[in-house]
Chains A and B, each alone.
Chain A
Amino acid sequence: MENAALLVAIIENAIDGILTIDNNGTIESINPAACKLFSYLPEEVIGKNVSMLMPPPDKEQHDEYLHRYQRTADPHIIGIGREVTGLRKDGSQFPFQLGVSDVKFPGRKIYAGFIHDLSRQKAAEEQLKEHAAHLEEEVADRTVSLQNMVLALQEAKEEVSVSLEKEKELSQLKSRFVSMASHEFRTPLSAVQLSASLIDRYAKPFNSADISKHVEKIKNAVGNLTTILNDFLSLEKLEAGKVEPTFTDFDLIKFSEEITEEMQLVAKQNQNIIYLHSGTSSLVSLDQNLLRNCIFNLISNAIKYSGENTFIEFMTEINEAGCVIIVKDNGIGIPEADQKHLFEAFFRAHNTGNISGTGLGLNIVTRYASLMKGTVAFKSEPHQGTSFTLSFPAP
């Protein structure tokens, strides 16, 4: 008797639903957990066929299942368990794991069903599936937007490469133009220059100051235009990185004296270029062409921006630290506000007035100096004069 009481207690308090049916499928007992699962009271189901707790197609076929087992003893659920669907009183359905065992009594057989609710598990699974689907959707969305982004990037890249290509073409065009101009302009300029020389010669017998004056003007204009062409060409070559210094050892004093002599020829009336060298050595290792160009430029500026009857000091010094070259004039000077822009290409100080120039000279000088590892510095006072210093470190 104690055993029976224990069994009843277990069945009554089991968390899973338990019910028993007879040979014909009629419900004989049902525990509270099963009642709760199917939302029936015990009296509503006991004595009724168990198929009432099943939705179609099991509902119609349950009797057949039962008879087949009794006929063949071939179990489909019994002793195996299966996931099936239950039908509640209100018509709603729920999934559960069904375990069935047959219990043999003398003379008859009953079946006990163990019902383990899977609603929560299924709901969780559903939720998981939904999440997964949602994730997949999101991944798909992101993939699309990434693909769009990649496309946009590719387009942008193509655009950039097209503009780069255009810029390259333009730069080549500019390069070709500058090169063409600086070469092609020289041929007619030569004819002009030589014709001016001839006019000068043919006019000698007339001794006309007016003719001489105009011939001189033509020659100066040709000279100015040639300087501009040279500056353009120098700048173009610098921009294209085509200027490479060739360092050679040479005598700075001899080199400077030659420049002084040459520049004295183009100086104004009574404008004297005074050359001085200090230091025991006179040997330097620099690029002669670049250095000549720098000094020419600085002395030309000194000539241009100072008046007649002035001195232009041209000093060189070689000491332990290196080589210093100074060109100093007593000219119009550089306004303080303009000084910081002085080395910019095409910049001209505001007090240059109608003195001709391209604003390229000092830009080229700094670039040439830096190609030779040198620097350019200056001091200037308006109406007092300007002094430029080129410094090159000892090799």
Chain B
Amino acid sequence: MNKKVLIIEDNKDIRENIAEILELADYQVYSADNGKAGIELALSNLPNIILCDIMMPEMDGYDVLAALHQYPEMKGVPFIFLTAKAERLDLRKGLELGADDYLIKPFDDIALLTAIKNKLK
């Protein structure tokens, strides 16, 4: 069965491009354009891995991660931050909150697929 990937990203172009690349690589893709919808999709579809932007209006990536931590069914689901922040402190904060990895924008298809493959091993 195809692995399920949830993308939470407010930028339409990036969200669609990531989805397209992942679909071409035979992943089953769910996408949300905000944190709240992302959490709902996560709970209803139980993805194998979650990609989540950090800077989003209303609910940012850190909030999404913290919210998902409250559900036992989300335990062990790899969580990768997509970030425009290249600063070390921001990255460290993400990892301290329990993210498994981060991709710094701009990243290409190879970096994206490699990161997902590594975390799904």
Contact = CB atoms under 8 A, between A and B. Distances in A.
A238 to B, nearest CB: 13
Given A186-B104, A192-B106, 5 more contacts: A187-B11, A190-B106, A190-B107, A198-B17, A233-B87
Given A189-B106, A219-B108, A222-B106, A194 B14 contact: yes
Contacts of B85: 183
Given A187-B11, A201-B109, A219-B108, A195 B17 contact: yes
A191 B86 contact: no
Interface string B81-92: 000111110000
Given A183-B85, A289-B88, A198 B14 contact: no
B106 A193 contact: yes
Interface string A183-224: 110111111111111101100000000000000000100100
A226 B84 CA distance: 11
Interface string B66-88: 00000000000000000011111
Given A187-B11, A198-B20, A193 B108 contact: yes
B21 A186 contact: no
Contact of B24 (A188, A196, A201): A201
A197 B20 CA distance: 10
B109 A198 contact: yes
Interface residues of B, number: 22
Contacts of B107: 190, 193-194
A182 interface: yes
Sorted nearest first, the 6 A-B pairs with minimum C-beta distance are A197-B109, A194-B17, A191-B13, A189-B106, A186-B84, A186-B105
Interface in B1-53: 11, 13-14, 17-18, 20-21, 24
B109 A184 contact: no
Nearest to A237: B87
A121 interface: no
A151 to B, nearest CB: 47
Interface residues of A, number: 26
Interface of B: 11, 13-14, 17-18, 20-21, 24, 55, 84-88, 104-110, 112
Interface in A21-57: none
Contact of A187 (B14, B20, B87, B112): B14
Given A187-B11, A187-B14, A201-B24, A194 B84 contact: no
A222 B85 CA distance: 16
Interface of A: 182-184, 186-198, 200-201, 219, 222, 226, 229-230, 233, 237, 289
Nearest to A193: B106
A197 B21 contact: yes
Contact of B84 (A183, A193, A219, A230): A183
Contacts of B24: 198, 201
Contacts of B88: 289
A188 to B, nearest CB: 8
B14 A191 contact: yes
B92 to A, nearest CB: 10
Contact of A198 (B11, B21, B105): B21
A93 B58 CA distance: 101
Most A C-beta atoms less than 10 A away, residue of B11, B13, B24: B13
A289 B104 CA distance: 15
Nearest to A233: B86
B115 to A, nearest CB: 14
A289 B87 CA distance: 11
A316 B87 CA distance: 28
B121 to A, nearest CB: 19
Contacts of B105: 186-187, 189-190
Contacts of A229: 86
21 contacts: A183-B84, A186-B106, A187-B11, A187-B14, A187-B84, A188-B13, A190-B11, A190-B14, A190-B106, A193-B106, A193-B108, A194-B14, A194-B18, A194-B21, A194-B107, A194-B108, A198-B17, A198-B24, A200-B109, A230-B86, A237-B87
Contacts of A195: 13, 17
